[in-house]
Structure 1
C-alpha cells in the first residue's frame, strides 16, 4: 500500500527539521500528522494519526519509524484517564489504539499529538526555545518575545497530562501557533504540514533573535586568568595523555567508550568565571540529562597543571562525584524505584583542553557530548537574558529513574561480545588484518584501522561503518613516532585501547646465500621490532586505563616449522612467538593477556602473497601460483584451505570472552600441519 500523502509530508518535514541541529537534538522531539484513510475492514473512512515512534530520530525517520493510531480510540482515552498519579498506565493503552500492525511503538509524547486539536504538530528541543524554558522568568520572557502567539506551559513531566495541558492551552488561545514548555522545549501546530513547519521555525528563529538582541555580551562572565584554551596541538597532546585515565574513571561501574570534543563552545564555557556554578546546576531538558547524567564532573585545575596533578585531582573529584550521585539517588529513590544504574560521570570537563563524553558505544558517547554542547548553549541563552534555572533535582530523578525509562532500557538488545572494546589492528588495510577488523566490528568493537597504505586504511574504515565504528591511521610500524601518534589518534577517537592485533608484516622468500643483511633487517624491523614497539605503546595505554586488555600476535606456522628458503621471515616469526610468552609473563599483573595465532597458507586475500611472496613460494614448491592455496590445503591434515576469515575467527575466540583465563597461548590456524604441532 502506498504511503498516505499526509504521512509522506510528515516524513519530509521531519527530515528538514531534524537535519538542522538548531531545531532539535539527535533523537529529540517528535512530529505528527492526521488524515483520513479507508478502513480495510469496514470500507469506511477512519481518522488516523502518524507520529514518530519511541526511540526514533527526526532527521533519519522512515515509514517504519512511525506509529499509526486511530484517532477515535486515542481521543476516547480521555474518558478513562485515571489521573496524573497513574498516567503512566496510559502508555500501555496506546497499544489498543494502533491501526493494523501499528508500526513503531508509540512514545510517551503520543498524547501531546493526539489530543491537540491540529492536523499537524511538532514537538522540538531547540537550544533557543529551551533557553527561554529554563530561564528563571521564562514565562515573562516568552510573553515579551512572542506576545500572545506563543503560550507558556509550566513544567510537567512528559505524559498524558501534559498532552491535556497543551490541548487546553491551544483551545483557550485560538490565535496561538505554539507554546514554550517550561524546563523542556517547544510545541507548534498547524492546519497543514507547511504551516506547522513554518510555525516551528518561527518560534525557534524568533527566540534566537530575541536572545541575541536582548542578551548581555558575556553571559558566562569574564575569562578566568589561566583558564583560556591552550593551543590546538597542546590540547591534543594533553587530551591524549589524559584520555586513558579519564576513561578508567568513567568505567568503574561498567566499561565505556569515549569521545573527545575541544570545540570553541566547550573551551569558551570552561574558561569562563561562571562555569563551575552553571555546571553544578546540571543540564536542562529531559533529553539532555538522560544522556549526560544530571551534572558533569569538572576538573578544577588550570591547564598549566601537570599531568600527574590533573590525574590525581580527577581521582579525588571522581570519588566525591560517586558519593554525591549515590546521595542524590538516596534522597529521591522510592521503594519501587529501579536500582541505581551507576555513579560514574558521562561528561568530564577539563578547562583549557575540552570535554570527554562516554557511553556504551561510540555513537552514544558522541551524542552525549553533543547534548552537553546543547546544554551549554541553553545556559548561555538563559544567562544572557535572565538566570539559568533548570527543573528541580527531584523532577530530574523522576525522569532518570522513571519506570517507563527503565522498561525502555530493559528492551534494548543484549550487548555484543566485544561491545565497549576498542581495538587497534596493524596491517588492517588488506588481507588478514582487514578480515580481523571486519570481525571485531561485527562483534561490537570500535576499531582503529592502522596501515602503511593510508588510502587502503581509510577505505576499510568507511566500509566498516565510518567514524562511529572505525577510524583509519597511516602508520609505519618501524617508526616510534608514528606508532605513538597512532595510539594518540585511537584514544582521542574512542577514549582508549583495549585490544591490539600485531598483524603488519611482509615476507621475503630467499635461500640463505641470497638473503642480504638488508632483507634480514627489513623483515625484523617490520615484524619483530614493529610488534615490540606497538605492544609497548599498547601496554602504556592499557596500564593507565586499568581495564586489562588483549594483545594478539599474528605469527606463523613458520615460527616453529623449519622450511626451506625462508630464513629471514621464519626467524622474525619465531621472535614474535617468543614476544608473546615474554609479554604474557610480564603484563599479566595488569590484567593484560597476550596470545598468538600461527596461520599457514593464507593465500586468498593476502597482501603478502599478492606482493610476490606467493610466486616465490609457488616456485619453491613447483606449483602454479594460482593453485598455491590448493597446494597448501592438500598438504594439511584436514585438506582445507585457510582463509583470512579463519584467522579473524581465532582472534575473536581469544578476545571474545570465553578464554578469559588464557594467556601465553599460540593457536594454530593451518588446517593441521603435523610438523608445526606445538610441543
Structure 2
C-alpha cells in the first residue's frame, strides 16, 4: 500500500499499532487520533470515526455486534474511550421499522439511547446512523478541505465520478440524521464495490476491513482530491481572481492588529464578553486581499461544522490597512456602524428563516472579522473556541479556493444553514455544555509572574478559566513558568516595569493573542530592609521606581486598552502589610508600599466611571517561592526582629491572630476574591491576607 503522500501526513506507526494487538476499539482510537492530528484531514471537533466488534451481551451471554463511534461533541484528534458511544448494531438498524420519515428526524436521537451497549457511553451523536447502516468494520467520516472543495462545487457530482472513476459515490446535500444514514446505505447498494461516498457540501465517508485499511483508504482518497485541486489552481483564472490590494509587511500588520483588536473585541462583546484570536497567515491574506473577497465572503460557508463555529458569514472591515490608528476615535464610529449593520443583517436572517419552535436569537455579533491587508480576527467565549473558529474559517477559505479552481463555489441555501445553526438538537447540545468557569471570558496580565506570588496568581486565574499573560524580567524563569500552562491558556512575555517598550510589547502580545486584557495584577517587586542610616539614595530610588513608578506605568498602559474595549475591568495591586504597619528598619520599602496603596485609591476614584475597579491585596511574610526572601531581605528582617533567618516563618506565624503561615496560594485566592465576580461592586478596597495582624487593620 502507498505510504508516501504529498498533501496529507502518513502518521501510522506499525510498532504502536502492534502494541494494541487485536483491540479494535484501541485501534479505532489510535486511527482517530492520528487522523485528527492533521487539520488538512479534518477540523477540530469535526467528523467522526467508528468500528464494529463482536461482544458478549451482558444479559444473554450471546455474541452481538457492537458499533463504537465518536460521541456527541467530541474531537477525533483527542478522542479517548470515554468519548465513544457503544451501541447494539441490530437495535440501531431495527429503528428503521419505527422511523416516521424525515419530518420526524429529531425524535430518533432520543431512541439511540435505547440501543446503548456500554452504559459508560458518551451521548450518541446525530451522525450515529450514518455509520450503522454501512456494513464495514471500520469507517471514517472526515471533513478534508480538498474533498469539501469538490463537494461544495457546482459540478461536484460530475467531478467526483470522473476523478475517482466511479469508486466514490455521490449523495446530494442533506442534513445529517437517520434518513441520511439510509441514503448512504442506498448509495452503497446502488454502487457495490465502491471505496467511499462524497456527501454534497459536507464531507467524505471512507472505510476498510481493518483500522489500517480504513486509514490508508481515507488518506488515498484525500490525496487524490488534493492533487487534483493543486493541478488546477491558477489554471482557469488567478486564484480568487488575483490580488486586489497589497498586504502590509508582517510587523506593520501586527502593529495595526494590536491597536484595533481591543476596539473590535469590545464591539464583539456587546452581548457577552469574548476572547479573540488574530491570524495573518498566507492563506488568510491571499483570500482577504483578493478581487473575489466581495463575492465569496457574503456567500457564507458550506460545511455545517464551519458555519456552526464561524456564523454564516464574516464582517469585512472597509478601512485602509494603513489607517492611522494612533487615535481610534477617527475610525470608531465607522466601525461601530459596520457592527450595527452586521447585527441588523443577522437579526433579519433569523427573522426570515426561523421556525415556529426555533431557539431564541443568539448573539448577533460577528465571530470572524476580516481586514484586507492586515488579517483575520475571531471572537468567541474562550481562547480555544476563538482559535478553532479561526481554523474553521481557514478551512472554509481552502474550500472556496478549491471549488473556484475546478468549478464554482456553492454555499448552502440560507434556510438550510439556519436550520442547522438553530437546530433543536444543536441547541440541546449547547444546553448540555458544562457551566463556564468564573473567568472563562477574561484575560489577565500579571507582572512578576514567573515565580512566587505572581506565579500562584497566574495559576489560580488560569484554573478559573482566564487566559493569562505571564510577564517577568527574568526570561529563563518566565520560559520555565510557561511550561505549566496549556496551549490556549497563556503566553509569556518579558516585561520590565520601568521600560515603556517592554510594557507596550506585553500589551501588544496580549491583544494579538487574546484580543485585549481585562485584569491587570501588579505583582512585580523587590524588597530592601535597612535602618534609616544605612538606606542609600539608590535604595530609595530603586524601591520607589519598581514598586510605585512600575505600578503606575503598567496601570496607565493597561487602562488605555480597558477604555478602548469599554468593558470595564480590574486592577489588583499586590502591596504589603508594611504599607499600613510601621515596622523597624523598613523606611524605603514601607514608604513605597504606602504610596502603592494610595495610588490604588486615587485610581479607583478616577476610573470608577469607566467601570474599572482598583483594589489592593496586602500579603505579609510570604516566603515560599519568593526571590524577595533570598539574600539580604531575609537577613535584614531577621535582624530587625532578633531571630535567625530559619526562624522567620515560625516567627511570622506566631505574631498573627490565626497563628498561620501565609502561602502564595492564599494571596492568589485574595486576588480571585476581587476579580471572580462576587465583588463586582467593590473598588478602592484593601484585603489583608496576613493571618490577622491587628496593627494592619484598616479601620
Give the TM-score band, short-chain normalised: over 0.9
Q: Secondary structure at the match of 2:403?
A: helix
What do the CA deviations read for 1:518-558 (whole angstroms, capped 9, x no partner)?
A: 11111111110000000001100000000000001111111
**1:405 maps to what in 2?**
426
Q: Is the 8 A contact 1:31 1:51 kept in 2?
A: yes
**1:346 maps to what in 2?**
367
**1:526 maps to what in 2?**
546
**1:212 maps to what in 2?**
230
Note if 1:265 corresponds to 2:283: yes
Q: Secondary structure at the match of 1:220?
A: helix
- What CA distance in whole angstroms lies between the structure 2 residues aligned with 1:652 and 1:364? 24
Question: Greater CA deviation, 607-616 or 409-418?
Answer: 607-616
- Which ranges of 4 or more aligned residues in structure 1 deviate by more than 4 Å? none
**2:611 maps to what in 1?**
591
Note if 1:335 corresponds to 2:353: no
Q: Which of 632, 636, 641 is the matching residue for 2:656?
A: 636
Q: Which of 575, 594, 611 is the matching residue for 1:555?
A: 575
Q: Is the 8 A contact 1:69 1:102 kept in 2?
A: no
Q: Is the 8 A contact 1:427 1:505 kept in 2?
A: yes
Q: Secondary structure at the match of 1:373?
A: helix
Q: Is the 8 A contact 1:220 1:273 kept in 2?
A: yes
Q: Which of 429, 437, 458 is the matching residue for 1:437?
A: 458
Unaligned runs of 5+ in 1: none
* TM-aligned CA deviation for residue 313 of structure 1: 2.9
Question: Greater CA deviation, 197-206 or 69-78?
Answer: 197-206
Note if 1:323 corresponds to 2:344: yes
Q: TM-score, normalised by structure 2?
A: 0.95
**2:491 maps to what in 1?**
471
What do the CA deviations read for 1:375-419 (whole angstroms, capped 9, x no partner)?
A: 000000001111111110100100000000000000011111111
* TM-aligned CA deviation for residue 464 of structure 1: 2.6
Residues 338-377 of structure 1 mapped to structure 2, 5 A cutoff: 338-377=359-398
* TM-aligned CA deviation for residue 259 of structure 1: 0.7
**2:3 maps to what in 1?**
none
**1:483 maps to what in 2?**
503
What do the CA deviations read for 1:222-253 (whole angstroms, capped 9, x no partner)?
A: 211xx211111111111110110010111111
- What CA distance in whole angstroms lies between the structure 1 residues aligned with 2:22 and 2:106? 31
Note if 1:511 corresponds to 2:531: yes
**1:457 maps to what in 2?**
478
* TM-aligned CA deviation for residue 4 of structure 1: 6.5
Residues 537-616 of structure 1 mapped to structure 2, 5 A cutoff: 537-616=557-636
What do the CA deviations read for 1:73-93 (whole angstroms, capped 9, x no partner)?
A: 111111111110001111111
- What CA distance in whole angstroms lies between the structure 2 residues aligned with 1:81 and 1:387? 37
- What CA distance in whole angstroms lies between the structure 2 residues aligned with 1:336 and 1:636? 62
- What CA distance in whole angstroms lies between the structure 1 residues aligned with 2:433 and 2:491? 26
Note if 1:99 corresponds to 2:117: yes
Q: Is the 8 A contact 1:30 1:124 kept in 2?
A: yes
Q: Which of 149, 157, 162 is the matching residue for 1:131?
A: 149
Q: Is the 8 A contact 2:85 2:118 kept in 1?
A: no
Q: Which of 35, 38, 59 is the matching residue for 1:17?
A: 35
* TM-aligned CA deviation for residue 278 of structure 1: 0.6
* TM-aligned CA deviation for residue 42 of structure 1: 2.3
Q: Secondary structure at the match of 1:48?
A: strand
- What CA distance in whole angstroms lies between the structure 2 residues aligned with 1:501 and 1:215? 50
**2:93 maps to what in 1?**
75
**1:244 maps to what in 2?**
262
Q: Secondary structure at the match of 1:440?
A: helix
From the superposition, tell whether residues 549 and 566 of structure 1 become closer, same or farther in structure 2 (CA, over 3 Å): same
- What CA distance in whole angstroms lies between the structure 2 residues aligned with 1:321 and 1:4? 54
- What CA distance in whole angstroms lies between the structure 2 residues aligned with 1:456 and 1:78? 62
- What CA distance in whole angstroms lies between the structure 1 residues aligned with 2:305 and 2:632? 56
- What CA distance in whole angstroms lies between the structure 1 residues aligned with 2:631 and 2:52? 62
What do the CA deviations read for 1:316-339 (whole angstroms, capped 9, x no partner)?
A: 211100000000000011221000
Q: Secondary structure at the match of 1:100?
A: coil
Question: Greater CA deviation, 194-203 or 580-589?
Answer: 194-203
Question: Greater CA deviation, 616-625 or 365-374?
Answer: 616-625
* TM-aligned CA deviation for residue 611 of structure 1: 4.3
**2:690 maps to what in 1?**
670
Note if 1:223 corresponds to 2:223: no
Q: Secondary structure at the match of 2:630?
A: helix
Note if 1:392 corresponds to 2:428: no
Q: Which of 409, 426, 449 is the matching residue for 1:428?
A: 449
Q: Which of 57, 63, 69 is the matching residue for 1:45?
A: 63
Note if 1:27 corresponds to 2:42: no
* TM-aligned CA deviation for residue 3 of structure 1: 9.4
* TM-aligned CA deviation for residue 126 of structure 1: 0.3
CA-based RMSD? 1.4
Residues 110-129 of structure 1 mapped to structure 2, 5 A cutoff: 110-129=128-147
- What CA distance in whole angstroms lies between the structure 1 residues aligned with 2:466 and 2:621? 28
Q: Is the 8 A contact 1:462 1:470 kept in 2?
A: no
Q: Secondary structure at the match of 1:112?
A: helix
From the superposition, tell whether residues 42 and 310 of structure 1 become closer, same or farther in structure 2 (CA, over 3 Å): same
Q: Is the 8 A contact 2:605 2:684 kept in 1?
A: yes
Q: Secondary structure at the match of 1:300?
A: coil
Q: Secondary structure at the match of 2:119?
A: strand
Note if 1:659 corresponds to 2:670: no
Note if 1:156 corresponds to 2:174: yes
Question: Greater CA deviation, 185-194 or 250-259?
Answer: 185-194
Q: Which of 72, 84, 89 is the matching residue for 1:66?
A: 84
**1:274 maps to what in 2?**
292
- What CA distance in whole angstroms lies between the structure 2 residues aligned with 1:263 and 1:335? 42
* TM-aligned CA deviation for residue 653 of structure 1: 0.7
Q: Secondary structure at the match of 1:67?
A: strand
What do the CA deviations read for 1:418-462 (whole angstroms, capped 9, x no partner)?
A: 110100011111111111111111111111111111222222222
Q: Which of 299, 320, 329 is the matching residue for 2:317?
A: 299
Q: Is the 8 A contact 1:557 1:600 kept in 2?
A: yes
What do the CA deviations read for 1:487-511 (whole angstroms, capped 9, x no partner)?
A: 1111111111000001100001111
From the superposition, tell whether residues 222 and 215 of structure 1 become closer, same or farther in structure 2 (CA, over 3 Å): closer
**2:8 maps to what in 1?**
none
Q: Is the 8 A contact 1:483 1:537 kept in 2?
A: yes
Unaligned runs of 5+ in 2: 1-19
